[in-house]
Copies of this chain bind each other. A is one copy, B any other.
Amino acid sequence: MNLNERKLQILQAIISDFIRSAEPVGSRTLSRKYEMGISPATIRNEMADLEEMGFLTHPYTSAGRVPSTKAYRLYVDDLMERHELEEKEKTQIRNKLNAKILELDKTVEHAAKLLSELTNLTSFAVTPGKHEDFLKYVNIMPVDADTVVLVLVSESGKVSNTALKLKVPCRNEQLELLSKVMTYNYKGKKLSDILTMDIIRSFESDIAAMSKLAESIMPRFMITLENMLDTELYLDGLMNIFTIPEYNDIEKAKLFLEMVNQKRFTDVLVNRDNGVIITIGDENSEEIMRDCSLITATYKINGKLIGRLGVIGPTRMRYNHVTSVIEYMTQHLNEAFETGGKEDE
């Protein structure tokens, strides 16, 4: 049995209808709503075929048909028409994301918020892991007799800092010298490399002369560096789950909210392939996500560091609209982070 034109047409109609209504689609409804010149009985025959082929299921004997993962996959890959965003949506994206391009993390947070507003789904955005980022600058500034602030700046413009009290008071020149030595030693090195032992050890011997000072500072230097490496996850639109019929059940809503709050969930996001990736229902590797579809895309900072952006929702989602929104947003982010990433105003 093969998928002829008419079967595809019926399948497409069922998917569209179900995405809109969240109700199983019956043959009668279908023939009434989409005038395709064939009777319900004929549609029923075709439906039976489509079910046998694995594209449809029905929840109980005499309910309408519901698309399967396989159907959504076919739809996403072949059937789905490209959805052109409304001008209103486009300007909204441009405006909201341009306003705050000054601060990378804020921009990413805004992106997540905007994405959930435009899709009415739960969205997330992950800042790039800094493993491909390089250290640019180390400075230890005196504040008090025994208080200093340690500031690290990376190539991509991330600034990380900490205030700490010294066990031994020290002169400003010592701090300056140490800053310079550290900058000299670490500049241009990968952040993640600096965290490995041997670099540290060799350096520690270099500065044995001022070891007391360095001893105070090194542990915190490492912690601050680690903080710099962390990705940040922004979730938004969590409450949208309550407007989705699939989650009208308290138990399901609870499970969903607990899932996206798990550390596990973050890991899944970070480990996804690049580009726009759609995983549908049981295509997801994690058991707990089998009821959901996930659409993610990547954006780049200076064409290099990679962050992610996406939505999670029921398998029944407006794939074409969501995809268009995400594509437009990541494209915009890429451009924004490329040229004017750190430009002022």
Contact = CB atoms under 8 A, between A and B. Distances in A.
Contacts of A167: 344
A342 B165 contact: yes
A253 B250 CA distance: 8
Contacts of A199: none
A153 B140 CA distance: 13
A18 interface: no
Contacts of A254: 239, 242
A103 B220 CA distance: 11
Interface string A232-269: 00000011001000001110011001100100000000
A114 B198 CA distance: 37
Given A159-B163, A250-B253, A342 B149 contact: no
A37 interface: no
Question: Among A157, A166, A239, A248, which residue has the most Cβ atoms of chain B within 10 A?
Answer: A157
Interface string A312-345: 0000000000000000000000000000001111
A153 B149 contact: yes
Interface in A166-216: 166-167, 216
A162 interface: yes
A141 B137 contact: yes
B165 A344 contact: yes
Interface in A54-70: none
Query: Copy number of this protein in the oligomer?
Result: 2
Interface in A105-122: none
Nearest to A261: B239
A300 interface: no
A161 interface: yes
A139 B151 CA distance: 11
Nearest to A241: B254
A115 B40 CA distance: 60
A166 B79 CA distance: 51
A147 interface: yes
Contact of A137 (B143, B216, B342): B143
A164 B343 CA distance: 7
Nearest to A340: B165
A308 interface: no
Interface string A128-167: 0000000011010101100101010100010101111111
Contacts of A345: 219
Interface of A: 102-103, 136-137, 139, 141, 143-144, 147, 149, 151, 153, 157, 159, 161-167, 216, 219-220, 238-239, 242, 248-250, 253-254, 257-258, 261, 342-345
